[in-house]
Amino acid sequence: MSFDPARVAMEPAFVLHSTPWRETSLIVECFTPHCGRVALVAKGVRRPRSALRGLMQPFQPLLVDWFGQGELRTLKTAEWQGGLPQLSGKALLCGFYLNELLMRLLGRDDPHEALFGIYAQALARLAAAEPLEPVLRAFEVSLLQELGYAPPLEREADSGAPIDPQAQYLFELDRGALRVVVPGGNAVQFLGKTLLDMAQSRYDDPVTLSQSKQLMRLLLGHHLGHQDLHTRRIFQELPLL
């Protein structure tokens, strides 16, 4: 049986973001495994007695049914799937960060089944109160890999030689890791071990943790263009109050 994107039933979904629409409705951006990011009109869910009112929240696994053609489909029903504690505290802010990345980098109706699993796993790790930074880094790397912008982390650019964990590297966006031959220079340098650790999703080394943050910022910045992430700005503003 082929998959009909105009009439979908029991599709796993996470709400990424929702905005009020007309008096009582919402436009809900959902992330699903088989259709990627879809925009659904949830009619009447802002009425006080709507059964779906409490369900249209981010970070909660749902099963949704929708119908319709075009970019904006109509939500028919949604079912609570459960099993994931609600995010709270800093983990909640990190959840918004993941959602903003998906909203910005994922086109509508572009399915990435594996990424859906990776996102669900990242949320589960955040909900389980794991250290936040490794979860974010691993998600960022996987996100770029799934979108086809995989940064080559295990081989040197040009020569294709394996990365030397002890060597220093520069990272050029369109080429990859370049071994630093002459020390010095202004460009940010990364230890070979950092790149290898990132390829393996190992973030227990503090050097890896801080360097990977810089590298991912560089790579994401390239794909996000000029407009910086709101969540990142808010993260920076809060401690300054």
Partner 1 sequence: MAFHLLQRDREGAGRLAETLSDALETIHHCVQCNNFSETEICDLCATGERDPRLLCVIETPADLLMMELTRAYQGLYFVLMGRLSPLEGIGPHEIGIQKLLERAGDGVTEEVILATNFTAEGEATAHAVGELLRQRGLKVTRIARGVPVGGELEYVDSGTLAQALLERRPASP
Confirm or reject binding of residue 217 to partner 1 (CB under 8 A): no
Nearer to partner 1, 54 or 221 (CB): 54
Contact indicator for 162, 177 with CB cutoff of 8 Å:
no
Query: 81 near 12, Cβ under 8 Å?
Result: yes
In angstroms, what is the minimal distance from the CB of 103 to partner 1? 6
Binding mask 11-40 for partner 1 (x = CB under 8 A): -----xx-x---------------------
The site string for partner 1 over 38-67 (x = CB under 8 A, - otherwise) reads -------------x--xx-xxxx-------
Residue 237 as a binder of partner 1 (CB under 8 A): the answer is yes
Comparison of 5 and 58: residue with beta carbon closer to partner 1? 58
Query: Which 76-105 residues touch partner 1, going by CB under 8 A?
Result: 80, 82, 85-90, 92-93, 95-97, 99-100, 103
Q: Per DSSP, what are the bridge partners of residue 64? A: 11, 78
Query: Which residue is listed with tokens 């912008």?
Result: 149
Q: Provide the token pair at 60.
A: 């909660």
d(CA 208, CA 201): 10
Candidates 146, 134, 115; CA nearest to 204 is 134
Query: 142 to each of 50, 55, 146, how far by Cα in Å?
Result: 37, 28, 6
- Minimum distance from residue 178 beta carbon to partner 1 (Å): 35
Helix %, strand %, coil % of the chain (to 5)? 35, 25, 40
Q: State both tokens at 41.
A: 């009109």
Q: How far is the CB of 126 from partner 1 (least distance, A)?
A: 13
CA 83 to CA 59: how far, in whole Å?
11
Which region among 161-169, 176-184, 198-206, 233-241 touches partner 1 (by CB under 8 A)?
233-241
129 touching partner 1, by CB under 8 A: no
H/E stretch holding 233 reads: helix 230-237
Q: Which residues pair with 170 in a beta bridge?
A: 178, 189
Residue 231 is a binding residue for partner 1 (CB under 8 A) = yes
238 lies in the site for partner 1, by CB under 8 A: yes
Which one of 105-113, 167-175, 182-190, 231-239 is the stretch in contact with partner 1 (CB under 8 A)?
A: 231-239
* Contacts of partner 1 in 144-163 (CB under 8 A): none
Cα–Cα distance for residue pair 50/138, rounded to 1 Å = 38
- Judged by the rule CB under 8 A, the positions of this chain that interact with partner 1 are 16-17, 19, 51, 54-55, 57-60, 80, 82, 85-90, 92-93, 95-97, 99-100, 103, 230-231, 233-234, 237-238, 241
